[in-house]
A and B are shown apart, each in its own frame.
Chain A
Amino acid sequence: MECRFAVYRFDPAVDRQGRYQSYVISAEPSDKILDCLNRIRWDRDPTLAYRASCCHGICGSDAMVINGHVALSCQKLVRDFKTGNNFVIEPLPVFPVIKDLIVDLRPFFAKHRAVRPYLVANGESPEKERLQNSENQQFIEPALRCILCAACTASCPITRVNPDYLGPAALLRAFRYVCDSRDAQTLERLQALDNDNGIWGCKTMWWCTEVCPKGIPVTKCLGQIKRLLKKGDAHA
């Protein structure tokens, strides 16, 4: 069947601002939106730029805006949209556009690094594994699904108005380490988040949870950090 795509285009070498280009291609209801972009690029316009790699929602390369919704292009199929086979494809908001659908994610990863996203353990490592309660592992499990696609952070209404706010993805990573019973710096981590650009920047708007392509209850995980700070207690 025939599908019409209006795709955001911006080439830094020639364009002063973005524009929309229209392509009509044939697609099946079961095709991914990414398949459609590939078809446009291979058959119509090889200059179209976007990121993609694994094609099944695990590498996190291809978050973009599809008909107004932030999503992974490899995880949404043509049949998922009731828009009369008309599609509008745009780059992620918030981040500067480099070319077409490719945005500069350096600010996103800078915030990720700011939460010190690695385990800091106490003392010498044992000969074998450290023990960890299965319930504790399951408690942080939702955060392990994060693929750093930036969909949540790009959708967050607070991120849009406060560029210094850490944003949901970085805070979710912080939750993962704050609540991991093996980490020795829970208090230091919590203190570092205890400000308006940290966890209190979150106004519980739920957009992050709404758009997360991995179904992570982001807002609830962030709420857990808030509870721990209020309670003054570390481990769940």
Chain B
Amino acid sequence: MDSHYDAVIVGAGLAGLRAAIELGGQARVAVISKVFATRSHSGAAQGGIGAAIGNEEEDRWEWHMFDTVKGSDYLGDQDAIEIMAKDAARTIYELEHLGVPFNRTQDGRIAQRAFGGHTRDFGKAPVKRACYAADRTGRVILDTLWEQSLSKGIDFYDEYQVLSLMIDGGSCSGVVAYELATGAITAFHGKAVLLATGGAGKIFKTTSNALASTGDGMALAYQAGAPLEDMEFVQFHPTGIYKLGILISEAARGEGGVLRNANGERFMEHYAPVIKDLAPRDMVSRCILEEIRAGRGIGGKDFVHLDLTHLGQDVIDRKLAEIVGFAKTYAGVDAAREPIPVQPTCHYMMGGIAANADGEVIVDAGGTPLPGLFATGECACVSVHGANRLGCNSLLDTLVFGRRTGVAMREFIQTIKAPKPSDAFRKKAESRMAELLATEGPERIGAVMTELQHTMMEHVSVFRHAEGLQAALSKIGELKERSTRISIQDRGSCFNRNLLEVIELGHMLDLAEVITLGALSRRESRGAHWREDFPQRDDTKFLHHTMVRRSGGAPQIFSRPVVITRFQPRERTY
């Protein structure tokens, strides 16, 4: 089957929906998502969205920009970060006008709270910059944008898995997708295609991410020859519930919660004397693991305590109800009375499909766009987060750049004619699916996926070294080979998860390889990428973006300069 649109958007989280709203009513728009729109993982964002609107205390976008640059360990592109920090206030007011129900101050303005790495006056003290709706900020923004999009004449294709991008002659003219309910394969022809498919946390064993976070958009772009940027920078959030990885928002520390080791010490005071528990996530995650390595994990085990017992029932009920519920349901802990056991959990990909600030996918170090292909949100790398993203900058990223990408797509659509539709891509996808369905072999999907997740957790998570990364690389090679022999036991065409998981696994294996290769090539420590064999940041050799593209079937690494405008790299202490 064939469908024709002006814009084809893949992914119905905040980035995709924000772009869709910009285009709705002015172009024929399809939004394709493998989960129903409101199930998108943007909805799991808890703590807030950053903007220097200064409702609680003095704040300036320049401070926000500085914090983001410093948080990125100077790897973020400062022109893009400036755009984001300047556009943040407008973005918040726009959300409010659309109906987002933010918490309010006593005088009725949007309430704000402190968040990790966000400071006043270039690092002097924490500042209240995160706008929030209790601890379900992502969820209420997702609901609001989705509900707004319902009146914009946008066609939603829920529960469709995208199989491939239609890239021919150096431009993109659509995607091929598989309908989960029927197994039907459709070519969605479009003048412009947007990838807004989110993250890939499922590559790691312990993660806050959803089952759907398998990096599909990144992998499809990579497989089609587009470069991925800075993939070695994987954020581990410091406070996942022990063993489960379920996120306990940084808002818990923003509201005054503290981390304690086995001796009851507030250990972050030693590592970050100025902002303590509100240090950026890369630092706090490393500090937790250092404490555990030094034998100060709780009961000698691999977790520490997040203590909220001094916050009082009122703060917990009004601002942290969701996470306290998670602690109760999954860990059996009453957070108002006892500490929550936590450990770092894979949370966010700083890297992604190389894109500029208008969401155009770029293909080389000079920034040449790939006509017709756009990327935004977590699956893209603009790069505003560099080597480490600050909390409450991801929602901002999705909305600022989601909107800008929507604007850019609208303009792009007007400049070109509809490409001549070809059915070659759909036919290729159909035969590949038929082949996959017929695969017989000794391997099982669950086993291969679990081995990948364990390998990445062991060798490519918070602490890395050459030997482990090499071991991971050869394991990934082995798993890639074994994955071709996974027997598909469900031959049906209705909600065939077995088949879908094999496709997702293929995506995760490609990304795992790129992440590991990037980590091996970056022989320094910067942001979330910590090499025990190279524990210093090395600006002479590595102040650049890592780019990996597939060339002749194999990954090829090159680099791209970092844009530095206002803030020269300095030592990063808090």
Q: With an 8 A cutoff between CB atoms, is A67 at the interface?
A: no
Judge whether B35 and A53 touch: CB under 8 Å: yes
Q: Is the C-beta of B326 less than 8 angstroms from some C-beta in chain A?
A: yes
Contacts of A130 in B (CB 8 A): 96-97
Docked pose: A131 CA to B53 CA in angstroms:
14
Q: Is the CB of B150 within 8 A of A117?
A: yes
Tell me which residues across on chain A come within 8 A of B210, comparing CB atoms: 53-55, 59
Q: Are B39 and A54 in contact (CB under 8 A)?
A: yes
Q: Are A53 and B39 in contact (CB under 8 A)?
A: yes
A127 touches B35 (CB 8 A): no
Chain-A contact segment, one of B98-106, B163-171, B225-233, B405-413: B98-106
Chain A min CB distance to B373 (Å): 26
Specify which of B43, B99, B106 is in contact with A118 (CB 8 Å cutoff): B99
Contacts of B212 on A, CB cut-off 8 Å?
Answer: 53
Q: Does A129 contact B (CB under 8 A)?
A: yes
In the bound complex, what is the Cα–Cα distance between A102 and B182 (angstroms)? 13
B108 CB contacts on chain A under 8 angstroms: 131-134
Q: Say if the beta carbon of A236 comes within 8 Å of chain B.
A: no
Among residues of A, the one whose C-beta sits closest to the C-beta of B38 is A148
A48-B140 Cα distance, complex, nearest whole Å: 32
- A53-B134 Cα distance, complex, nearest whole Å: 22
Are A58 and B99 CB-contacts (below 8 A) given A47-B498, A49-B494, A53-B210? no
Q: Is the CB of A129 within 8 A of B92?
A: yes
Contacts of A46 in B (CB 8 A): 445, 488-490, 497-498
* A104–chain B nearest beta-carbon distance, Å: 9
Residue B246, interface by CB 8 Å: yes
Shortest CB–CB separation between residue B229 and chain A, in angstroms?
A: 27
Alpha-carbon gap, A54 to B326, bound state (A): 13
Contact B446 A118 (CB under 8 A): no
B-side contacts of A215, CB under 8 Å: 325
A128 touches B93 (CB 8 A): yes
Segment from A81-89, A137-145, A201-209 that makes contact with B: A137-145
Question: What are the residues of chain B within 8 A of A51 when measuring CB–CB?
Answer: 35, 39
Of B93, B110, B211, the residue contacting A52 (CB under 8 A) is B211
Residue of A nearest to B96 (CB): A129
Chain B interface, number of residues (Cβ within 8 angstroms): 64
B148 within 8 A of A: yes
Cβ contact within 8 Å between B151 and A118 = yes
Q: A42-B445, A53-B211 are in contact. Are A59 and B494 (CB under 8 A)?
A: no
Q: How far is the CA of A131 from the CA of B109 in the complex (A)?
A: 5
Say whether B329 faces chain A, with CB atoms less than 8 Å apart.
Answer: yes
* Contact residues in B for A47 (Cβ distance below 8 Å): 489-490, 492, 498
Which of A53, A132, A145 has the most CB atoms of chain B within a 10 A radius of its CB?
A53
Cβ 8 A contact of B329, one of A12, A75, A105, A132: A75
The A contact surface, by secondary structure, is: loop
A176–B100 alpha-carbon span in the complex (Å): 11
Contact string against B for A residues 33-73, beta-carbon threshold 8 Å, 1 for contact and 0 otherwise: 00000000111001111011111111111000000000000
B493 sits at the interface (CB 8 A): yes
Among B38, B326, B446, B493, contact of A13 (Cβ-Cβ < 8 Å): B493
Query: Judging by beta carbons under 8 Å apart, are B39 and A144 in contact?
Result: no
Contact B101 A144, beta carbon cutoff 8 Å: yes
Nearest opposing residue in chain A for B241, CB measure: A56
Smallest distance from the beta carbon of A89 to chain B beta carbons, Å? 16
Let me know if B147 is at the binding interface, CB within 8 A.
yes
How many angstroms from the CA of A67 to the CA of B504 in the assembled complex?
A: 32
Q: B136 interface residue, CB < 8 Å from A? A: yes
Proximity string of chain A (93-112) to chain B, C-beta cutoff 8 Å, 1 when within and 0 when not: 00000111010010000000
A194 at the interface (CB under 8 A from B): no
Contact residue among A11, A119, A137 (Cβ-Cβ distance under 8 Å from B492): A11
**A137 engages B104 (CB within 8 Å):** yes
Binary interface profile of A, 209-236, with partner B (CB < 8 Å = 1, else 0)? 0000001000000000000000000000
Cβ of B134: which chain A residues have Cβ within 8 Å of it? 141, 144
Complex CA distance for A36 and B420, rounded to whole angstroms? 48
**Cα distance, A125 to B97, chains bound together (Å):** 7
Q: Contacts of A105 on B, CB cut-off 8 Å? A: 36
- Shortest A12–chain B CB gap in Å is 6
What is the chain A residue whose CB lies nearest that of B150? A113
- In residues 99-122 of chain B, which contact A (Cβ within 8 Å)? 99, 101-111
Contact A43 B150 (CB under 8 A): no
Distance, CA A180 to CA B97, complexed state (A):
13
**B101, A137: Cβ atoms under 8 Å?**
yes
Tell me, yes or no, whether B301 is within 8 Å of chain A by CB.
Answer: no
B144–chain A nearest beta-carbon distance, Å: 8
Tell whether A147 is near chain B: CB-to-CB under 8 Å. yes
Inter-chain CA distance A234–B264, complex, in Å, is 52
- Assuming A133-B104, A144-B136, is B41 touching A53 (CB within 8 A)? yes
When A and B form their complex, which 9 residue pairs have the shortest distance between CB atoms, in order from nearest?
A: A42-B446, A119-B99, A131-B108, A46-B498, A134-B104, A49-B495, A129-B96, A59-B39, A125-B97
- Which residues does B use to contact A, with CB under 8 Å? 35-36, 38-41, 43-44, 53, 92-93, 96-99, 101-111, 133-134, 136, 139-140, 143-144, 147-148, 150-151, 181, 210-212, 244, 246-247, 318, 322, 325-326, 329-330, 444-447, 488-490, 492-498
Chain A residues close to B by CB (< 8 Å): 11-13, 30, 32, 41-43, 46-49, 51-61, 75, 77, 98-100, 102, 105, 113, 117-119, 121, 125, 127-134, 137-138, 140-141, 144-145, 147-148, 176, 180, 182-183, 215
Given A41-B497, A57-B326, A134-B103, 20 other A-B residues pairs in contact with their CB atoms under 8 A: A41-B446, A43-B446, A46-B490, A46-B498, A48-B497, A49-B494, A53-B41, A55-B211, A56-B330, A59-B40, A59-B43, A59-B210, A61-B36, A77-B329, A99-B494, A118-B151, A128-B53, A129-B92, A129-B96, A180-B101
- What are 21 sample pairs from A and B whose C-beta atoms fall under 8 A apart? A11-B492, A30-B330, A41-B498, A46-B489, A49-B495, A54-B43, A54-B44, A54-B211, A56-B246, A56-B330, A60-B39, A98-B495, A100-B495, A118-B151, A121-B97, A130-B97, A134-B105, A137-B104, A138-B318, A144-B134, A144-B140
